[in-house]
Amino acid sequence: MHEIYINLVEDDIRYCLDLAQKRHDYNVKIGRKPANDAPTDPLAALTIEQQGVFAEYVVYRFLEPVTWHRFIEGSVQGLPDFYNFIDAKWRPRHDSNLIIQGNDPAHWAYVHVSAELHPVYVIRWWIWGDHAKACDENGRALYWKNRTGKRRPAFFVPGYDRNVRDPLDLKAELRRRQQVDGHV
């Protein structure tokens, strides 16, 4: 499996921090509450926004040209980060599980982005939502857990799952869809 390394330079980092601040300020302005029981403390909320923007930016750099929904006024419910099916997920370490919320769409692709080597980010793998939410032979979700007891339960998908995919496969799937949709 390929790992995609993206090195962020000073201008990239500044862009990400500025975008995260803009999103954070907008969320405060309209009174949007953090989702998934995320922290409401302003500094903690801004940090989570920054992490998300770094992951999105890295995936954007890998996939471009692609539509990135980088800043949306109004509801972002049901809107993936990229095109119409790709969502980037920031993770602190290469071996961190990918966290997918129970209400995250099953038809989206979720991309594991490791920040362990910041400012070098690594796109490790991706998985379809329906595979992340798979059940065992008894009908129990394989990865549904409440790890911390502090936040909402979610799917914690390990990188060794048999359904994880190579990042190059995601790029190929995106290009195929863009071609079918007449966007390339």
8 Å CB contact between 49 and 90: no
Torsion from C-alpha of 80, 89, 114, 49, nearest 10 degrees: 100
Q: What sign does the dihedral 47-48-50-54 (CA atoms) show? A: positive
Nearest CA to 92 out of 125, 129, 132, 52 is that of 52
Quote the Cα angle for 41-97-47, to 5°: 20
For residue 175, is pLDDT > 80? yes
**Displacement of CA 111 from its chain's centroid (Å):** 6
DSSP state of 68: B
Cα atoms in the Cβ-side hemisphere of radius 13 Å centred on 169: 14
What pLDDT is stored for residue 33 in this prediction? Answer: 75
* pLDDT tens readout for residues 5-31: 999 999 999 999 999 999 999 988 988
- pTM of the complete model: 0.92
Residue 184 has pLDDT above 70, yes or no: no
Q: pLDDT of 104-162, one tens digit each?
A: 999 999 999 999 999 999 999 999 999 999 999 999 999 998 766 666 789 999 999 99
